[in-house]
Structure 1
Amino acid sequence: MSRSSRMNTLLKPPKMAWNATDRRLLRAAGIQDLRAIAKKQVPRMVFDYCDGAADGEISLNRARDTFAGLEFQPSVLRDVSVVDTGRTVLGQRQRLPFVLAPVGFNRVMHADGESAVASVAEQFGVPYSVSTLATTSLADVAAAAPGGRRWFQLYFAEDRGMVKELLACAEEAGFDTILLTLDTPASVPRRRDIRNGLTIPPSMSLGTFAEAWLHPGYWMRQIRAGSPKPQVLAATGGSAADMIKRVFNPRLCLDDVEWLRGVWYGRLVAKGVQSVADAGRVADLVDGVWLSSHGGRKLDRAPVPVELLPDVVDEVGDRVEVLVDTGITSGADIVAAIALGATAAAVGRSYQYGLMAGGRRGVVRALEILSREIEVTLKLLGVTAIDQLNRSHVRFR
């Protein structure tokens, strides 16, 4: 081969995209790259709402540091030419071992909103969890992803009549799983949101307004799509502020879980469990226990969910499936969570960064990144299937 031929082989032109959004997304090699793009594409108050966490953001940072500190134990001389990334989660086989966690107000992040996320989840064969605070109705989410698996995250209001209305909407729209959120007895204003004036009622400064209008593309999309409102809660009536206040229930207790088990036809998952003892208390009433610190957005200095994972699996893993979230920023983190005993991992900010960075196309890019990282991590571990992972493959340092 001549020298010029060798140079031509090495210097292949990069993938090209005429669209500016596509060009940005093609350059994103990891979720952190999508985060950096997102930060430039949306107003600071929008980015901070998604990116931020409670108080000093200690819970979130600890969770991320814990995942970063996990050490894999690879095995070589294995044929890993073909790997199976599929996983059975709550009775159904899916293509990848994670789910999209619920995040409210998706149409605030990007005008494409929940419908776009649902369609991408269907494309990649993973469940999409729709928040009670979604800005798209459950019926419209179902229409956007008729063949996808849809879960509904439920804030259990003090008014059981309101809860019944939400359950009826979920059932009518073909949602098969309820994620009962347990860790929100009170609303928690986050420091970034307070600084940006994202409070009820809003109290935004002139500086916040001025910075927001540095993103004309964002506002043009919002104007064309219409003002985002909590569409799921709209069925229960009242103003937006009133609806949001009603979903936080300081009286939620085990009796409510028992009642919900009796009235809901599908799968039920207890989301927001943060101790081995509480996992044991709910295990006989639900199909799944979701270890979560709400992405670090509620109690600061909360336990790190992935650190609880092995003990919770030992306690209840023969009775229920165990999911885990908070601090997951890569496909390698997802693989580590499965190895430690999780049925599936849940990602929230990862796909939201994609949504802010480029709407539906950004969510596709986020899931492409995670999928690639999962497959590569399995091969480097010497594992040919997700279901082969166990605690021998990873350890806490």
Structure 2
Amino acid sequence: MLSCVADYRIAAQKRLPRLAFDYLDGGAEDGDALRRNAEAYRQWLFKPRVLTDVSRCSSATQFFGREAAAPLIVGPTGLNGLFWPRADELLAHAASEAGLPFVLSTASTSLLEDVRAAAPRGDLWMQLYVQQDRGIAEDLMRRASAAGFSTLVLTVDVPVHGKRDHDTRNGFALPLRLSPRLIADCIRHPHWCWQMARHGSPQLKNIAHSVGERADLARHAAMLSRQMDLTLGWADLEWVRRHWSGKLIVKGIQGRDDALLALARGTDGIVLSNHGGRQLDSTFAPLELLPEIADAVGHRLDVFVDGGARRGSDALKAVSLGARGVLLGRAPLYGLASRGGAGVKEVLALMMQEMHIAMRLLGCSALTQLRPGLVERAA
């Protein structure tokens, strides 16, 4: 096990060719939102209590009545097969072993049925993009329900894909096209190149399955990037409910007004998210929005955050400010990209270890003892 998530990031950067690492690590345009997400956690400082009994310490919590080992969820990330073969299955298995939920992306490179087989006892959630052909979303919901996924995470902040300068510079396109630059980069990263040659280019298998077509990365990636349903509105949550009987979370909330609309529409939870800084640049970090929104709706629905968490102590700050849990995006992917499934398990174990250390140093033996008074924004 390496010492921290930042070390796994360095290891991932060494193993991946530049276009793959930049796809994992980069943000939209100038990267301001990406940097702000991480910086937001540094703006909140702990105010520990002392002389409290911390001989027993538990980070256990519940999400919608199901036990979880910590207020962490392995969040939805797409095209993970670019980093390691069978990536989504490895992520789901590691999350299940750690006692944490896993959210499978619509843009996954493993079939959701294979992900369920890899984590037969895991709490699996399904992230959903709605495309112009709503039959695709309806089929994904049907299949996820049949496979025992408990929660639907409807992502609403990507009507179009954001502009990512790094992808333009790297000539990133799907499927990957050989060029002198990519060939030279592959030579410098032989392990990644060997895996891609052995297992083939990643495919958006769930979309292909629900469309009823053979895998065709170029076509199905284009469907995601250019055929999103731009008419999707709040009233369409009724359509979602007709096809999904489990818990429903709306992901991509970035303001109090939309949080109140989500509450009025009867959602079970919301995720405060700027999509990891990958879509619209110059946005507030979710953690910055959390206190106001948790105060407005947190007692009536579950509020989650994502973006920027790299330490177990970051999750404690979010919970102290009113979050039910934190979705992890890049952190487990750094583990995956550097060491496969073993790396994911190590990153999750590391963050939980950091969480337990910080809880004891804060004077807290349970998450229920976390409250706004334990953190304060730096002057």
Same fold (TM over 0.5): yes
Report which stretch shifted further, 106-115 or 325-334.
106-115
Deviations 1:158-187 (A, max 9, x none): 222121111112112211111000100102
Preserved contact between residue 98 and residue 346 of structure 1 (Cα < 8 Å): yes
Preserved contact between residue 142 and residue 244 of structure 2 (Cα < 8 Å): no
2:220 aligned partner, one-letter code: M
1:335 aligned partner, one-letter code: L
1:287 shift after superposition: 0.4
1:237 shift after superposition: 4.0
Q: Which residue number in structure 1 is paired with residue 253 of structure 2?
A: 273
Deviations 1:255-282 (A, max 9, x none): 2222102321101000000001001011
- Judged with a 3 Å threshold, the aligned counterparts in structure 2 of structure 1 residues 300 and 382 are, in CA distance, closer, same or farther, namely same
Deviations 1:189-226 (A, max 9, x none): 41111111113576664223311231111122233333
1:119 shift after superposition: 0.7
Preserved contact between residue 91 and residue 344 of structure 2 (Cα < 8 Å): yes
Superposed, 1:1-397 pairs within 5 Å as 26=1, 28-199=2-173, 205-235=179-209, 236-237=211-212, 239-247=216-224, 248-284=228-264, 285-397=266-378
1:67 aligned partner, one-letter code: Y
Q: Where does the alignment leave 5 or more consecutive residues of structure 2 unmatched?
A: none
What TM-score comes out, normalization by structure 2 length? 0.95
1:188 shift after superposition: 2.2
1:246 aligned partner, one-letter code: M
Preserved contact between residue 90 and residue 288 of structure 1 (Cα < 8 Å): no
Partner Cα separation in structure 2 for residue 57 and residue 91 of structure 1 = 37
Deviations 1:5-25 (A, max 9, x none): xxxxxxxxxxxxxxxxxxxxx
Partner Cα separation in structure 2 for residue 209 and residue 131 of structure 1 = 29
Question: Identity across aligned pairs (percent)?
Answer: 36
Alignment coverage as a number of residue pairs: 371
1:394 shift after superposition: 0.7
Partner Cα separation in structure 2 for residue 291 and residue 76 of structure 1 = 32
Partner Cα separation in structure 2 for residue 126 and residue 274 of structure 1 = 25
Partner Cα separation in structure 2 for residue 177 and residue 384 of structure 1 = 29
Q: Where does the alignment leave 5 or more consecutive residues of structure 1 unmatched?
A: 1-25
Preserved contact between residue 153 and residue 178 of structure 1 (Cα < 8 Å): yes
Partner Cα separation in structure 2 for residue 395 and residue 245 of structure 1 = 45
- Judged with a 3 Å threshold, the aligned counterparts in structure 2 of structure 1 residues 317 and 249 are, in CA distance, closer, same or farther, namely same
- Judged with a 3 Å threshold, the aligned counterparts in structure 2 of structure 1 residues 34 and 200 are, in CA distance, closer, same or farther, namely closer
